[in-house]
Amino acid sequence: MGGVHPEENKFSENAAIEMLPLPKQVIVQLGQNLGAPSKPLVKRGDMVKVGQMIGKGESFISANLHSPASGKVLKVDDAPDASGYRRPAVYIDVDGDEWVDDVDLSPGIERAIKLSRQEIIEKIKECGIVGLGGATFPTHVKLMVPDGKKAEYLLINGVECEPYLTSDHRLMLEKGEEVLIGTQILMKALEVDKAIIGIENNKSDAINHLNTLAAGYEGISVQPLKVKYPQGGEKQLIKAVLNREVPSGKLPIEVGCVVSNVGTAFAVYEAVQKNKPLIERVVTITGKAVKKPSNFMVRIGTPISQLVEAAEGLPENTGKVINGGPMMGKALTNLDVPIVKGSSGILLMKKEESLRPTSKTCIRCSKCTVVCPMGLEPFLLSKLSKLAEYERAEKQKIMDCIECGSCQYTCPSHLPLLDYLRLGKLRVGQIIRTRK
Amino acid sequence: MNIFTISGSPHIHGDENVRKIMYTVVYALVPAILVSLYFFGLDAVRVLLISVLACLFFEWIIQKYLIKGPITINDGSAVVAGLLLAFNIPSNIPAYIIIIGALVTIGVGKMSFGGLGKNIFNPALVGRVFMLISFPVQMTSWPVPKPLFGSDIMADAITGPTALGILKEGIGAGKTIDQIMADPNMPDYIDRLTGNMGGSLGEMSAIALLLGGIYMIIRKVIDWQVPFTIIATVFIVAGIFHLIDPQHYIDPMFHLFTGGLMLGAIYMATDMVSSPMNMTGKLIYSVGIGLITIVIRLWGAYPEGISFAILIMNAFVPLLNNSFKPKRFGVAVVKK
């Protein structure tokens, strides 16, 4: 149900993944995952190696952090994150690329899975793997299926429905085998025997490539999907692949599913088979005016400015820089913000694209209701939120909103529907928490 | 130092806007406008121009001097209201009545509620019904069409009743359907389909109206379910009574191609502002319009009832919006 079809603009889909040179300084945010921030393990003046743990995830929903570069810790101090808030981060002056000893840096593919189920989860936790689709939920927590629930399917999300972004697409093409082994590892951890990789039809090369490879892996199949935003949403993917609806307010495990991104599957492969912690990821740098739209393997903590330089510089008329895709990404205030685990792409928008048109009054066309993938009424929810009618908004299921932005994308009156929905969700969330 | 724009997502827009939607309706009305020009010639030009210009003028003057807000007469909504008002009145109506109608359409029907998007009732129908009640004689003396290239170019001011009017009068006088259909003024099937009969300016040709309707459905400005349900309801109810007593109730096809049913179902009932905002509501609303229309046509005092039907159902829209919700994702339908 619902959904929109924005222009795809996948300019970088044919650009092979390149290694981005090491920056002079990395800024590693301590709160990169959903849940509690990691606790710093280093202090000013410490020498660190690549892969050395520098932040520990101590609470239940939390993840470890590892140094993405070798060098000297300059300071542990606040740094502005993608939202513009100042949050604690570890600054490291880079002076080389010296790795910790136990990481396997050989180029060969390690196929045999030697670890047991419990060891796999432990390894994933140790290596600080989080969901790389953007939500950054710690993967080891996802793998611990609560008592009384049973996972039946593992879904691997290769949908990449956001316009412009191509990092998952390239990963599936270039690291297909690693993604499949990672999928197998996750299957073992979850004790499921069926995994389905969902990919939209606009990536037929990736579908064919993974289909060929998947023949060698028992229980893994590839399912082509119609192109539709926001099909990469967890609940939407489950609906599209298995026609099951995750109940309102519940997790996918309720319908026997666990969903992971292809990027996460690759990171899991590297962690479990190569003992390599999550210190780098594929990031797309793109935009209509970008001279060389590309995909880079980027160390976490690299400032975005370096990525922009590698794409042959900031175009003259850049008006907006977005961390993520154009539908759900965050606008950045400056280019010094570092890459975090959840950064899938950097989109540079031209000045003329970056301003919103003046909004008019609602003409009650109900297009927002038609496109809402959650069956909500954005026109009503935004109005209730504007009027501070939070209890009514809660009854109208405002908390089910996945913030995909389809409503605002469609609105012929250019109303800031999602802005008000976000405000409403924030307030309703606070109200719900105080009730407990 | 670069200064970047900051805003919440989404950062792109689907390129749909109010103006585009309104002009889609205007383009969809073009075939029917051409048919009215063919049948009524300069009279049609006169009515269309006066109505549209008067609507634009009243919207401008109210926004400038009463509301003192932004002037939005170029968004196309006043043009649509003006065209639809013109479509709903006879071509020989005096100019001053059109201007009064336009004032009620824009002033009472639209601006008194706060302008575009806020009105409960379809503005053009508010104007039309006001005119029908205030000027019953002028509003129901229908000029007989004199096609531009027709052989019988007769004098002006030939008026006659509409097909529905002949029917109503005949039934009232106790005639059977066969006797009524034998009336020389009664248009035949081809005339009813192409619109060569007495009636309001724009309700003449079912084919031209359907053409515009299909265009609006393709452009996603209207949902096909609304006109389809209204027409189907009229057809089914009229059909049932026709089967019971064919000498007292005319066959349902007659109802589909006469009067303002097509115009009302395709262009007026589908008005975004005054129709329900979810499919269940839309279906109930459409069935309601169909039922009230056919009840007025079969047993009411007026020969035609679609304007009243739409206005009555418009009043139920807020209730329908509150009572029916779209199917929520992940919320099971509670079975009673």
Q: What's this model's pTM, rounded to 2 decimal places?
A: 0.90
**Most confident among A72-81, A100-109, B313-322 (mean pLDDT):** B313-322
**Which of helix, strand or coil describes residue A80?**
strand
Provide the pLDDT for residue B192. Answer: 73
Domain that holds residue A205: 117-274
Band the pLDDT of A47: cuts 50, 70, 90: very high
Claim to verify: residue A215 and residue A326 sit in the same structural domain:
no
> Picking from A411-420, B258-267, B270-279, which range would have the lowest pLDDT averaged per residue?
B258-267
Region A368-393: mean pLDDT is 95
pLDDT at A394 exceeding the cut of 60: yes
Asked whether residue B329 is assigned to any structural domain, the reply reads no
Claim to verify: residue A210 and residue A288 sit in the same structural domain:
no
Claim to verify: residue A170 and residue A43 sit in the same structural domain:
no
> Picking from A80-84, A134-138, B324-328, which range would have the lowest pLDDT averaged per residue?
A80-84
Q: Which residues in B lie closer than 8 A to residue A244 (C-beta atoms)?
A: none
Q: Which residues 86-125 of A are in CB contact (within 8 Å) with B?
A: none
Domain boundary among B124, B139, B154: B139
Measured between CA atoms, the residue of chain A closest to residue B222 is A365
Q: Which residues 274-303 of A are in CB contact (within 8 Å) with B?
A: none
Q: Cβ contact (<8 Å) for A329 and B278? A: no
Q: Cβ contact (<8 Å) for B330 and A377? A: no
Claim to verify: residue B213 and residue B294 sit in the same structural domain:
yes
Question: At a CB cut-off of 8 Å and minimum separation 6, what does A202 contact?
Answer: A8, A10, A227
Asked whether residue B7 is assigned to any structural domain, the reply reads no
pLDDT at B220 exceeding the cut of 80: yes
Q: How far apart are CA B306 and CA B283, in angstroms?
A: 16
Is A327 an interface residue toward B (CB < 8 Å)? yes
Provide the pLDDT for residue B264. Answer: 93
Q: Cβ contact (<8 Å) for B10 and A408? A: yes
Q: Cβ contact (<8 Å) for A333 and B6? A: yes
Q: How far apart are CA B279 and CA B300, in angstroms?
A: 30
pLDDT at A287 exceeding the cut of 90: yes
B291, B247 contact by CB (below 8 A)? no
Q: How far is A330 from chain B (nearest CA, A)?
A: 7
Q: Which residues in A lie closer than 8 A to residue B4 (C-beta atoms)?
A: 318-321, 331-334, 354
Provide the pLDDT for residue B148. Answer: 59
**Which of helix, strand or coil describes residue B240?**
helix
Asked whether residue A416 is assigned to any structural domain, the reply reads yes
Claim to verify: residue A190 and residue A75 sit in the same structural domain:
no
Provide the pLDDT for residue A423. Answer: 96
Provide the pLDDT for residue A134. Answer: 79
* A233: enclosing H helix or E strand: none
Provide the pLDDT for residue B1. Answer: 56
Q: Which residues pair with A76 in a beta bridge?
A: A90
pLDDT at B260 exceeding the cut of 70: yes
C-alpha dist (Å) from residue B178 to A244, A293, A390, B165, B235? 59, 76, 64, 16, 20
Q: Cβ contact (<8 Å) for B116 and A361? A: yes
What domain count does chain B have?
A: 2
pLDDT, one tens digit per residue, over A22-41 is: 999 999 999 888 888 889 99
pLDDT, one tens digit per residue, over B16-75 is: 999 999 999 999 999 999 988 888 888 889 999 999 999 999 999 999 999 888 888 889
Q: Cβ contact (<8 Å) for B277 and A366? A: yes
Provide the pLDDT for residue A326. Answer: 95
Closest CB to B18: pick one of A324, A353, A363. A363
Q: From the centroid of its chain, how far is CA A135? A: 5
Provide the pairing of β-strand A294-299 with A220-225.
Answer: unpaired
pLDDT at B302 exceeding the cut of 70: yes
Band the pLDDT of B202: cuts 50, 70, 90: confident
Claim to verify: residue A267 and residue A287 sit in the same structural domain:
no
Q: Which token pair is A412?
A: 């012929």
Closest CB to B327: pick one of A333, A335, A375. A375
Q: Cβ contact (<8 Å) for B329 and A1? A: yes
Claim to verify: residue B99 and residue B67 sit in the same structural domain:
yes
Q: Which token pair is A9?
A: 């603009």
pLDDT at B335 exceeding the cut of 50: no
Of residues B292 and B191, more confidence is placed in B292
Claim to verify: residue A323 and residue A387 sit in the same structural domain:
no
Claim to verify: residue A170 and residue A231 sit in the same structural domain:
yes
Provide the pLDDT for residue B153. Answer: 45
Band the pLDDT of B155: cuts 50, 70, 90: very low
Measured between CA atoms, the residue of chain A closest to residue B17 is A412
Claim to verify: residue A426 and residue A375 sit in the same structural domain:
yes
Asked whether residue B235 is assigned to any structural domain, the reply reads yes
As a whole-number percent, the residues of chain B with pLDDT over 90 amount to 58
Across chain B, what does the average pLDDT equal?
87
What domain count does chain A have?
A: 3
Domain that holds residue B64: 18-139
pLDDT at B154 exceeding the cut of 60: no
Region A103-120: mean pLDDT is 91
Q: Which residues in B lie closer than 8 A to residue A330 (C-beta atoms)?
A: 9
Region A109-138: mean pLDDT is 91
Question: At a CB cut-off of 8 Å and minimum separation 6, what does B216 contact?
Answer: B24, B25, B28, B222, B266, B270
Region A71-89: mean pLDDT is 89
Domain boundary among A296, A324, A351: A351
Band the pLDDT of B152: cuts 50, 70, 90: very low
Claim to verify: residue A45 and residue A72 sit in the same structural domain:
yes
Q: How far apart are CA B124 and CA B122, in angstroms?
A: 6
pLDDT at B333 exceeding the cut of 60: no
Across chain A, what does the average pLDDT equal?
93
pLDDT at B194 exceeding the cut of 80: no
Domain boundary among A247, A274, A301: A274
Is A3 an interface residue toward B (CB < 8 Å)? no
Is A411 an interface residue toward B (CB < 8 Å)? yes
Q: How far is B269 from chain A (nearest CA, A)?
A: 13
Measured between CA atoms, the residue of chain A closest to residue B328 is A375
Report CA dihedral (A387, A390, A393, A395) to the nearest 10 degrees. -150
Closest CB to B4: pick one of A331, A363, A364. A331
Claim to verify: residue B194 and residue B292 sit in the same structural domain:
yes
Claim to verify: residue B128 and residue B197 sit in the same structural domain:
no
Asked whether residue A362 is assigned to any structural domain, the reply reads no
Asked whether residue A5 is assigned to any structural domain, the reply reads no
Q: Which residues 359-378 of A are in CB contact (within 8 Å) with B?
A: 360-367, 369, 372-377
Claim to verify: residue A254 and residue A309 sit in the same structural domain:
no
pLDDT at B143 exceeding the cut of 80: no
pLDDT, one tens digit per residue, over A247-284 is: 998 999 999 999 999 999 999 999 999 999 999 999 99
Q: Cβ contact (<8 Å) for B328 and A413? A: no
Question: At a CB cut-off of 8 Å and minimum separation 6, what does A422 contact?
Answer: A403, B8
Band the pLDDT of A395: cuts 50, 70, 90: very high
Q: What count of residues does chain A have? A: 436
Domain boundary among A259, A274, A289: A274
Band the pLDDT of B146: cuts 50, 70, 90: low
Provide the pLDDT for residue B149. Answer: 54
Provide the pLDDT for residue B182. Answer: 78
Q: How far apart are CA B290 and CA B268, in angstroms?
A: 13
Return the number of other C-beta atoms located less than 10 Å from residue A255's C-beta: 18
Claim to verify: residue B69 and residue B170 sit in the same structural domain:
no
pLDDT at A327 exceeding the cut of 80: yes
Provide the pLDDT for residue B151. Answer: 45
